[in-house]
Structure 1
């Protein structure tokens, strides 16, 4: 399947190997967003209705996310890139004081800043796994996890080494001690297969700017397990709650509505939404990119990317240079 025509930015390069920094926006994403902006400009029916726009946009982008992650749509919602989703999720779950968080010494600085701040707020101990020649080993992680561990939080694909973490084993180790596994998947989702329920992780957050082909858009995708949805206690806004009468459009027209009344949280991952109107423009752009990824198929994308990385590794070694990490990185 040839999709080069969908990426006019490729004309500026002989070869592009920097998607780990910024992916190309496909024309499908441009069309989705332009169609939506045209719809807003014309101010057509439903332009001011979250009920209508949720059906027309949110349900469709989350359906594409469902295809990519092989999960239920109810376990998905959107985020603004990666850090905002991680922050929103973490602030919805309150650890006990003096618990600990496990992370890794080569994480992207936005994650380390977030965890340091979160740890200070809740008086948590940060236990940072040290790499060995750029690589992480399960035995080193297992030594630091105990019954007082709140969560293992880190990248499923490391941004410096490219190591693909063994999420299934990380989940086993964490869950044996009652800890959560929260994954920064910005270098993973759209690049390699990631099925959260198969891996047993509790949350996956990935900004769209890299392998999800939404550079500088501000989009992102978040998966939350059923257990974590139930545990989460976010700050309530109106639109992460259930409408008292089925649809919000009907509620707004009720003279007897009580803005100070009691509302129940949504029972799906959108319980973690902002609480105000969803970012529909970001959603349309992500929708158009996910369509391309799903049309190609993540299994095919993974094979291509892994083979390409192997060729690059062979060329590097052939030049007498060294690579960090294990020799069996393809199987990591």
Structure 2
């Protein structure tokens, strides 16, 4: 490896030893990543022997697709000698790039499934499918679904309770969807962003009677009842009295500030049967969360229907 009499290399020599172009060396120098040791009398850049290792490190970092700003942070940390935080800049940069790649891969998988959906659908349905999937960003966002539920929940409901409900009610899109799941999510997106007929979206009677804080109690209890009902649904059990139904009724009784009595159960069964329904939402959620060819997973909607059927049968038997 030859150097000049003063131990420095010209830009062409450094580029040759590193296996890059002069333009590349100049690019990194101009951005402060590769400092010059000096300039010749003619104004040409001169680099010390340490520049070769630094240039190789820069190339390795850029080969990982790290942006120049992150490369600069890593080099600055090395120049400071590292210390207690040695390697932290590199770790942060790699972790950030991995997150970005995960998002990019998710978007590519979603677009692939969307393309297959459009390719394989009957020609008469192609225009509608294009409109549906074209309205959904890739990777898809659940923000419209969350906004839908925030507008549906009672106003001034505690933020913690709202967040807990959204965790259950808003499904996360699968990371590697099949075309049917893309279609289900696109339909959910359309359902939750389409203007609702009338000025006010229909609300359950419980929202009016329980109020904001009562609704928080209600939905906490319902989440537990739905989980218990989900166990029964997975076992293909017919709607029946039991712990799940008792918890379901207790959630409403607590929210209303009353006791669980046979008369209350009868009235509640009638009220819930008359409440506005969101069946289509939950049908689409089931399509979205069920693996291809797999058994349908219980949703809060299917659990609610199971519990309501058990309550209605019990009230009818008592009458």
TM-score, with structure 1 as normaliser: 0.22
Looking at secondary structure, tell me which structure has more helix per residue: 2
Looking at secondary structure, tell me which structure has more strand per residue: 1
Higher relative contact order (CA 8 A, sep 6+): 1
Larger radius of gyration: 2
TM-score, with structure 2 as normaliser: 0.23
